[in-house]
Amino acid sequence: MDRSDYTLDDGVTYLNNGSFGPSPRKVQEERKSWIDRLERQPMQFLTRDMEPALKDAMIPLANLVGTASTNITFVDNATFGMNVVAQTVRLSSDDEVLLTDHEYGAVMRVWRDKCKETGAKFVVQRLPDPLTSSDELVAEFLKGVTERTKLIVISHVTSATAAILPVKEICHAARRMKIPVCIDGPHAIGMIPVNLDEIDCDFYCASCHKWISAPFGTGLLYVAPRWQHRMKPAIISWGGSVSGQEPSWQDEFNWIGTRDLSGFLAIPEAIRCLEEHGWERFRNETHQLAQYGSERICELTGLEPLIEDHAVWNGSMITLPIPGLVQTGEQHGRRDPLQVALWKNYQIEIPIYTWKKRRFLRISCHTYNTLGDVDHLLNALEESFVTSHESV
Ligand SMILES: Cc1ncc(COP(=O)(O)O)c(C=O)c1O
């Protein structure tokens, strides 16, 4: 696959798959064909065809993430899944929830709010800086565990720092201590091999509209069999099968009132497109492109990379420090001036943000990206840094 398989606007250099990944034309067409089917006979589709179609669509996704299709359900996105978990896990004022300091802002908010509501303690454990050894990371993170820890929440691939975390080792250690783990994995599925049965977490929340290029508004929630009978739906509806199938915990999530399910049903086509391209090829090509960009950006800025060994800690997305003033009082939706300038002057979409009082840029590469895109970014950065130095 290459850019011609997508419908990105001409002239746009899109280096932000990590936030929002466009889907190939074939996936968009597949989605439309499901919408057409619904429009031709809504009763047939919603009350008879929908549930078997959802069941079929879960199989390739479950295979991709290494578990049985009975252990996953479709949700709109990782945020939705995380909220379901927060609704399900019971906390009291004696409990603690442990997270890393690299967690996504909205996830922090879900758990901070839940802790506030229940009186539980919200514990953020710092990871080593820089990230050098996986063993050291696990040991350092687990120092945050106490006899009160009721849940661990950790990213598989972090958002701000784009680091692949050793979640399997953390889950296995947590299992020995009987602490459930919820993994926030929207960047991992597709970008790196994921085997949920081997990881053996309790919950895994992910979005399919990032690295597997499925339609927007598609995600998955994995629930370990030990939790399935305890899941609380985010939205209360009928709670049973609409076409009279055997009851399942997934019923609470398949039918949450009448809605458009075409995105979920197009997930298998998204997986097929990347499978045809070759998963290994996709992962290698996109990692190499991100790696090329990161080396050149470090040469340009003269700054030490956040993570030294990108081959170990990164997939198709790398975060790099950049010079310049950090934004104070940064809010969601308020953009760094360089990010705004790159878009306005060069039509480059790339996130630039402040994390721990330092300024970073995150480069994401997918099948539609080329060396030309990265070179265009490098030229734009070079010109922008020169301009900003002149104006200081
Ligand atoms: C680590 C992480 N978790 C959760 C999310 C939320 O994903 P979504 O907006 O698809 O729910 C993101 C989004 O970028 C993320 O990077």
Distance 302 CA to ligand 1 centre (A): 30
Compute the average pLDDT of residues 193-206. Answer: 98
Whether the per-residue pLDDT at 330 is higher than 60: the answer is no
* Nearest one of 149, 108, 151, 154 to 127, comparing CA atoms: 154
Confidence of residue 386 (pLDDT cuts 50, 70, 90): confident
Percent of the chain with pLDDT over 70: 96
Whether the per-residue pLDDT at 229 is higher than 50: the answer is yes
Distance 369 CA to ligand 1 centre (A): 21
> Which of 16, 153, 182, 207 should be mutated for ligand 1, with most atoms under 8 A from CB?
207
Give the model confidence (pLDDT) of 132-145 as tens digits: 999 999 999 999 99
Give the model confidence (pLDDT) of 64-105 as tens digits: 999 999 999 999 999 999 999 999 999 999 999 999 999 999
Distance 323 CA to ligand 1 centre (A): 26
In terms of DSSP bridges, do strands 121-125 and 96-100 run parallel, antiparallel, or are they unpaired?
parallel
Distance 217 CA to ligand 1 centre (A): 12
Scan for tokens 């992962």, then name that residue. Answer: 283
**Ligand 1 atom showing the smallest separation from residue 155 Cα:** 1
Residue 204 near residue 170 (C-beta atoms within 8 A): no
Which residue is closest in CA terms to ligand 1's atom 1? 159
According to DSSP, residue 144 is labeled T
> Which of 16, 104, 111, 267 should be mutated for ligand 1, with most atoms under 8 A from CB?
104
Whether the per-residue pLDDT at 392 is higher than 60: the answer is no
Residue ranges around ligand 1 (CB below 6 Å): 19, 77-79, 104, 107, 155, 159, 184, 186-187, 207
Enter the pTM of the model. 0.97
φ/ψ (deg, to 5) at 247? -60, 145
Confidence of residue 342 (pLDDT cuts 50, 70, 90): very high
Distance 390 CA to ligand 1 centre (A): 37
Distance 41 CA to ligand 1 centre (A): 35
Distance 359 CA to ligand 1 centre (A): 20
Which residue is closest in CA terms to ligand 1's atom 15? 159
Confidence of residue 320 (pLDDT cuts 50, 70, 90): very high
Distance 21 CA to ligand 1 centre (A): 12
**Ligand 1 atom showing the smallest separation from residue 77 Cα:** 11
> Which of 79, 85, 191, 360 should be mutated for ligand 1, with most atoms under 8 A from CB?
79
Q: Which residue has the higher pLDDT, 241 or 324?
A: 241
Whether the per-residue pLDDT at 253 is higher than 50: the answer is yes
Minimum mean pLDDT among 99-103, 208-212, 255-259, 326-330: which range? Answer: 326-330
**Ligand 1 atom showing the smallest separation from residue 184 Cα:** 3
Compute the average pLDDT of residues 103-114. Answer: 98
**Ligand 1 atom showing the smallest separation from residue 81 Cα:** 11
Residue extents of the structural domains in the chain: 27-274, 278-391
Q: What is the pLDDT of residue 43?
A: 97
Tokens of 312: 């170990």
Q: What is the pLDDT of residue 331?
A: 60
Distance (Å, rounded) from C-alpha 51 to C-alpha 47?
A: 8
Give the model confidence (pLDDT) of 23-76 as tens digits: 999 999 999 999 999 999 999 999 999 999 999 999 999 999 999 999 999 999
Whether the per-residue pLDDT at 107 is higher than 50: the answer is yes
**Ligand 1 atom showing the smallest separation from residue 78 Cα:** 11
> Percent helix, strand, coil in the chain (nearest 5)?
45, 15, 40
133 three-state secondary structure: coil
Topology classification of domain 27-274: Aspartate Aminotransferase; domain 2 (3.40.640)
Single-letter amino acid, residue 219: G
Tell me the average pLDDT of the chain.
95
Compute the average pLDDT of residues 369-389. Answer: 91
Torsion of CA 367, 368, 371, 374, to 10 degrees: -110
According to DSSP, residue 157 is labeled B
Single-letter amino acid, residue 230: R
Which residue is closest in CA terms to ligand 1's atom 13? 19
Q: Does domain 278-391 fall into CATH 3.50.50.60?
A: no
